[in-house]
Amino acid sequence: MNPVVGIDVSKGESEGFIFLERNKSLGKSFRFLHTFDGIQSLISRLQEVESLTERRPTIVLESTGHYHLGLVAALQKQAYKIIILNPLIPQRARKSKLRKVKTDAEDAKHLAELYYKEELKPTPLKQNEQAELRFLSRQHEMITHAYVQAQLNFQSILDQLFPLYSNLFGQLFSKTALQVLRKYSTPEQVLLSDLEEITRTISSSCNRSSSWATKKAEDIVTAAKNSLMTNSSNHSQIISLRLMIDLLMEYQTHLSHLEREIQVIATTMEDYHLLCSIPGIGHKLAATIIAEIGDVTTFEHAKKLVAFAGIDPSVFSSGKFTATRNRITKRGSTRLRRALYLAVLCGIRGAARNTRIRAFYDKKRLEGKPHRVALIACTNKLLHIIFAMLTRSVPYCSA
């Protein structure tokens, strides 16, 4: 016998269906909660199946973002073989049926049936370092997105209160610029303060010389004098500006902490150092790429890794018609695709130029390819290079 259990995962609970062998089910579907008692009841059912068939059942479920992670971790501790499917696979097979039925019980049964119909490979156990690096990288991405939105909101408020302040510091979102602005949020507040007091505020928040702090204080006073005076600054805007400053500084602290943790984990991985040898790929991009690819040995060849990144060209052909303009599928990892795209941009534009990728880009442009099409072609080539480097454990070679 070849037992399998299909599990349709949802938030907080799941539906399961058991086949002892092909076309031979064990009772009806069953539901269990994602609690200690619920998982124990599932394990009891799995042990019952094992006693009936004298084989450990295989677990088949869909990737659900994060709802399935706790369940997978609990089952992996019990050494069960687990197959995690891309949702597109069961969706495609479900559409082949004549009847349109969509229930949790039917989905669980359908997942179990797929095990017998298709050649499904078990999902390999992720190493702790790779799992932690992926989690930290995605947290960093999420906080960075929120940080950018906060910057835009901050800028819109600043343009209403003190627009000339934006050009006073080389980096508007530096610690010094934000702390000074928090204390002197409007031109009126600057003009009501003493120059020496503003200088002391600047000096206390940076490690620059006293002459630099004095010059910067004079620039702030000059900007305040040249600003449009309303004499009725909106109090709510001042409160919002200071809240946004606190939020920006908090985001900066969180991002710095995450970057340190990512660096600590990434530096212990050989693949990370290999990727850092590629011109255009820095520490952040290397950590993101490694986190999203995971174990490169799970990909039999480079084309499968390209498909995983979603940069493989779609194909459309019917009868005598064959499409000549094919877009990339974009069905893979969005984060990996974005990181590779940024790596190509840095490689062809940056000071540390990637000569191989730049030459390939110029070749595509001479062939008449548009800029974006040439960039995607370079992304595809870069991923082939990365696959070869990781599988052979060799650093980048520019020749």
* pLDDT digits 0-9 by tens, 226-235: 987 655 557 8
Instruction: Count CB-CB contacts under 10 A for residue 17.
Output: 26
* pLDDT score of 322: 60
Distance CA 126, CA 105 (A): 29
Distance CA 291, CA 278 (A): 17
Q: Which DSSP letter does residue 126 get? A: P
Distance CA 137, CA 129 (A): 12
Residue with tokens 């650093």: 395
Answer yes or no: are the C-beta atoms of 45 and 125 closer than 8 Å.
no
Write the CA distances from 337 to 180, 226, 305, 351, integer angstroms.
40, 47, 11, 23
Q: What is the pLDDT along the chain (399 residues), one digit of tens a residue?
A: 789 999 999 988 999 999 999 889 888 999 999 999 999 999 999 999 999 999 999 999 998 878 888 898 899 888 899 998 888 777 776 766 656 667 888 888 889 888 888 777 777 766 678 888 999 999 999 999 999 999 999 999 999 999 999 999 989 999 999 999 999 999 999 999 999 999 999 999 888 899 999 999 999 999 999 987 655 557 889 999 999 999 999 999 999 999 999 999 999 999 999 999 999 999 999 999 999 998 888 888 999 999 889 888 776 666 665 656 677 878 888 999 999 999 999 999 866 688 999 999 999 999 999 999 999 999 999 999 999 999 999 999 876
Helix (H, G, I), strand (E, B) or coil at 30: strand
Where would I find the beta strands (DSSP E) of the chain?
A: 4-9, 13-21, 24-25, 30-33, 58-62, 82-85, 317-318, 321-322
Answer yes or no: are the C-beta atoms of 75 and 125 closer than 8 Å.
no
Instruction: Count CB-CB contacts under 10 A for residue 146.
Output: 12
Q: What is the pTM of this model?
A: 0.78
* pLDDT score of 13: 92
Tokens of 320: 């005598």
Strands 30-33 and 24-25: unpaired
Q: Which phi and psi (to 5°) does residue 123 adopt? A: -75, 125
pLDDT in tens, 234-293: 788 999 999 999 999 999 999 999 999 999 999 999 999 999 999 999 999 999 999 999
Distance CA 32, CA 173 (A): 49
Q: Is the dihedral of CA 200, 205, 211, 217 positive or negative?
A: negative
* pLDDT score of 264: 93
Distance CA 354, CA 357 (A): 6
* pLDDT score of 385: 95
- Residue 27: closest CA among 19, 35, 37, 36: 19
Answer yes or no: are the C-beta atoms of 286 and 147 closer than 8 Å.
no
